[in-house]
Amino acid sequence: MFVTVNDWPALSNLLGQTNMGYNACTHCFEDLDSIFLKTCRKVVYISHCQFLPVDHLVRKKGKHFKGKADHRAKPHNQTEDDILEMVKDMKVVFGKRQSSKPVPKDTQGHTPMWKKKSIFWELPYWHDLEVRHTIDVMHLTKNLYVNLLRFMGVYGKRKDSLEVRQDLQEMKEQGNLHPKKIDDGRQYLSPPSYTQSKEEKESMFECLNSINVSSRFSSNIKRIINVQEKKFLNLKFHDCHVLMT
């Protein structure tokens, strides 16, 4: 065996590393910057700027999170030795009985980075592999597209909710997006810059509705969209390729 191909939840099991909560990234390790949003009750990750080119505009002062400049370099790749060093002394007893011994929480009381030493380390050649686990592209593409369409407000529940805006307000970020009280007591959410106008949405769904592809290329796009409400009803991997095109 030279590599495992799995979806995101299975990755955590095979790797022995947590991939949610405060220590979610299986590449960044300690360099991951996570914060907890109180109203949304969600952990989010804000260290993505470190992957941009060093002179990128977003890294400059004022544009970045909390108005500060961000000069962090991207996290260096952990070698096989580094990772083995982290897991080699782990003694975990599984189960819910009194004799069970899970990995203790980290210093800040968050879920620990490692859950166990993966059984694959018992393979004599496991240490010599450069890439040991991969995520399958079908799950990845589909999840990415569902999130993207949610951001655009055309798939399921919107990502851009009142709770998100309240968290922005509490963090004193992006003043123009804070919720405003209007006369009848309801909250007004100003549209963010990436929102499509009514006409833009109409033309997008008109285009999707007119797509004809050869049989078995993808599902019938007309059946997975609701043109009146301008929403996607369902999305499968092959449909993402139609959207890309």
Residues that bind Zn ion in the complex, under the rule CB under 5 A: 25, 27-28
Q: Which is nearer to Zn ion, 28 or 154 (CB)?
A: 28
Which structure tokens are listed for 113? 């980075």
Least CB distance from residue 75 to Zn ion, whole Å? 7
Specify whether the CB–CB gap between 129 and 2 falls below 8 A.
Answer: yes
Which structure tokens are listed for 16? 């022995």
Least CB distance from residue 242 to Zn ion, whole Å? 30
Q: Where are the alpha helices (DSSP H) in the chain?
A: 8-15, 80-87, 137-151, 162-170, 198-209, 221-224, 237-244
Which is nearest to 232 in space by CA: 136, 142, 137?
142
Q: Which is nearer to Zn ion, 36 or 217 (CB)?
A: 36
Q: Which is nearer to Zn ion, 53 or 124 (CB)?
A: 53
d(CA 54, CA 72): 9
Least CB distance from residue 132 to Zn ion, whole Å? 17
Q: Which is nearer to Zn ion, 27 or 38 (CB)?
A: 27
Least CB distance from residue 23 to Zn ion, whole Å? 10
* Position 174, amino acid: Q
Which structure tokens are listed for 225? 């969209």
d(CA 50, CA 53): 8
Least CB distance from residue 113 to Zn ion, whole Å? 12
Q: Which is nearer to Zn ion, 76 or 96 (CB)?
A: 76
